Amino acid sequence: MRRHRATGRSAMSTPAFEDRPPLTEHVNAYDERHLTTYLRLLDASEAGADWREVVAVIFGIDPEREPERAKIIHESHLARARWMSAAGYRQLLGARPQ
């Protein structure tokens, strides 16, 4: 997979990222590096922010230049963020999944 560094209008630093986060049943090192990214995505989603603005700000990707890639990055990372908030966080807390 290609790793990318966020550039552009990001107010906060985003760690190097893949187009799609690794999908594992357990929290992985990528997830740990991207906890803040996931929180930002969840906050933006809850606020009803336009996905194009979100991907530009958080990942530094221009959705006009790379619409398909921008959509993949946004959707896949938001899905992983939702998984983390529903199940993955338990692993960070040391709780056993139910």
Note the pLDDT of residue 11. 44
- Cα(94)–Cα(96) distance, rounded to whole angstroms? 7
Q: In a 10 Å sphere around its CB, with 0-12 CB exposed, 13-18 middle and 19+ buried, how is residue 37 labelled?
A: buried
DSSP notation for 8-24: SS-SS----B-SS----
Tens-digit pLDDT string for the chain (98 aa):
444 444 444 445 677 889 999 988 899 999 999 999 999 999 999 999 999 999 999 999 999 999 999 999 999 999 999 999 988 777 777 755 44
- Cα(94)–Cα(98) distance, rounded to whole angstroms? 12
Note the pLDDT of residue 89. 72
Q: What is the pTM of this model?
A: 0.79
55: helix, strand or coil: helix
